[in-house]
């Protein structure tokens, strides 16, 4: 008999179809009577397929007493309580590395778009201001700037390695110094004080909640920029909006927000931001590779009780 798997979302239609072909797949997101299904069939479920966006709430885990494994689409695991998984002997996999390039490219894209005011420039050309008002105002160059990376992991390092050839100097903050030539700061305010641009690339969750706060933004200063491709929760969002409105900092390029997809509308009123709808890994190539890795992890578990890219 095939394994009963509960999917909280579609990973990609062709890959969800692969799961449905091999497993007894149940799509919680498509069920009208979720509570009824869980009461009747929760004990049959031994695997969950989810994503960084949906995670796995503990109250749902409580209704799956025979859960063995969670395979998640994405690299963020702030919505999966890993301590609870460890305590219950539930294994968890994510999809690291294969999205690193696209996410790092997005950080670099947002950095250039923010300093060079791409969105303002696009509007300047489209709206006819170019001919009616004249030349657009000058922007800022990235060359020669100091880039402070918050979290020099897989994505942070990929951002740094792209930024160096563009003429940026790299510093970073994390829990420990890495064997790299970049300058290490054990204090986030000191990094912000040093940097012209802060790029946030650490995990979300309780340990990093609001660490980019008013003090950090103040230290970054009126010529400083924030780029966030990590999680909205890492930035104190009201403090960021206030800093952007009052020009405490010069601008921000943001892929992630505190309350997604219901982004604070104050951002939409600001000219000094470039916004992207949590889509840093949103390419066909990367999303296919992520979906394939979710399938491969589940199949590896089903075949041999191992995971290819475990986090727990
Ligand atoms: P990673 O390789 O695990 O890197 C995370 C880095 O953050 C590590 O260098 C770690 O260094 C540092 N870190 C961990 N806890 C920290 C803390 N409390 N304070 C400061 N730094 C801390 O992960 P990754 O693959 O680069 O991904 C990083 C994050 O990017 C993910 O967790 C996810 O939330 C986000 N992400 C976003 C998107 C998107 O679509 N926008 C896509 C993928 C990933 P130390 O251990 O030395 O501190």
How far is the C-alpha of 112 from the C-alpha of 145, rounded, in Å? 12
- Decide if 260 is catalytic: yes
How far is the C-alpha of 74 from the C-alpha of 53, rounded, in Å? 8
Site to substitute for ligand 1 among 177, 202, 235, most atoms within 8 A of C-beta: 202
- For all residues of the chain together, what is the average pLDDT? 98
Q: Is the CB of 230 under 6 A from ligand 1?
A: yes
Mean pLDDT of 148-175: 98
How far is the C-alpha of 154 from the C-alpha of 54, rounded, in Å? 22
Percentage of residues of the chain with pLDDT beyond 70: 100
Mean pLDDT of 115-144: 98
Q: Is the CB of 282 under 6 A from ligand 1?
A: no
Q: Is the CB of 210 under 6 A from ligand 1?
A: no
- Decide if 26 is catalytic: no
Residue 101 has pLDDT above 90, yes or no: yes
Kindly give the distance from the C-alpha atom of residue 17 to the centroid of ligand 1, in angstroms, as a whole number: 31
Active-site position among 91, 231, 237, 287? 231
Residue 1 has pLDDT above 90, yes or no: no
Per CATH, domain 100-275 is 3.40.50.720: yes
Distances (CA, A) of 22 to 16, 253, 262, 274, 292: 10, 42, 36, 43, 14
Residue 67 has pLDDT above 90, yes or no: yes
- How much is the pLDDT for 99? 98
pTM: 0.96
Kindly give the distance from the C-alpha atom of residue 155 to the centroid of ligand 1, in angstroms, as a whole number: 7
Q: Is the CB of 207 under 6 A from ligand 1?
A: yes
Quickly count: other Cβ atoms within 10 Å of residue 138's Cβ: 7
Q: Is the CB of 229 under 6 A from ligand 1?
A: yes
Assign a CATH topology to domain 4-97+285-304. Rossmann fold (3.40.50)
Q: Do domains 4-97+285-304 and 100-275 have the same CATH topology?
A: yes
In the chain, domain spans? 4-97+285-304, 100-275
- How much is the pLDDT for 138? 98
- How much is the pLDDT for 257? 98
Atom of ligand 1 nearest to the CA of 176: 47
Residue 218 has pLDDT above 90, yes or no: yes
pLDDT digits (tens, 9 = 90+) for 187-209: 999 999 999 999 999 999 999 99
Which residues share a beta bridge with 199? 149, 227
Q: Is the CB of 57 under 6 A from ligand 1?
A: no
Q: Is the CB of 232 under 6 A from ligand 1?
A: no
pLDDT digits (tens, 9 = 90+) for 28-63: 999 999 999 999 999 999 999 999 999 999 999 999
Residue 79 has pLDDT above 90, yes or no: yes
Active-site position among 260, 269, 271, 285? 260
Atom of ligand 1 nearest to the CA of 188: 20
**Encoded tokens for 121:** 């420039």
């Amino acid at each position: 008999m095939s394994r009963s798997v509960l999917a909280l979302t579609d990973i990609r239609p062709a890959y969800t179809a692969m799961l449905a072909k091999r497993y007894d797949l149940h799509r919680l997101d498509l069920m009208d009577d979720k509570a009824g299904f869980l009461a009747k069939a929760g004990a049959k479920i031994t695997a969950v397929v989810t994503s960084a966006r949906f995670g796995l709430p503990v109250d749902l885990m409580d209704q799956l007493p025979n859960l063995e494994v969670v395979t998640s689409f994405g690299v963020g695991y702030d919505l999966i309580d890993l301590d609870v998984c460890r305590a219950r002997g539930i294994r968890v996999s994510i999809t690291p590395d294969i999205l690193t390039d696209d996410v790092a490219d997005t950080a670099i894209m947002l950095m250039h778009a923010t300093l060079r005011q791409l969105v303002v420039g696009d509007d300047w050309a489209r709206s006819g201001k170019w001919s009616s008002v004249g030349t657009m105002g000058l922007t800022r160059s990235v060359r020669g700037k100091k880039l402070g990376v918050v979290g020099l992991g897989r994505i942070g390092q990929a951002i740094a390695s792209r930024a160096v050839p563009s003429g940026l100097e790299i510093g970073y903050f994390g829990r420990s110094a890495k064997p790299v030539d970049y300058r290490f700061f054990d204090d986030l305010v000191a990094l912000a004080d040093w940097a012209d641009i802060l790029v946030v690339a650490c995990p979300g969750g309780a340990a990093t909640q609001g660490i980019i706060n008013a003090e950090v933004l103040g230290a970054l200063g009126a010529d400083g920029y924030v780029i966030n491709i990590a999680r909205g929760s890492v930035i104190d969002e009201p403090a960021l909006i206030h800093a952007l409105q009052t020009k405490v900092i010069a601008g921000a390029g943001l892929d992630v927000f505190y309350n997604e997809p219901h982004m604070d509308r104050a951002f939409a009123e600001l000219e000094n931001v470039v916004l992207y709808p949590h889509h840093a890994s949103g390419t066909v190539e990367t999303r296919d590779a992520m979906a394939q890795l979710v399938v491969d992890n589940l199949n590896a578990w089903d075949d041999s009780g191992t995971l290819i890219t475990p986090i727990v």
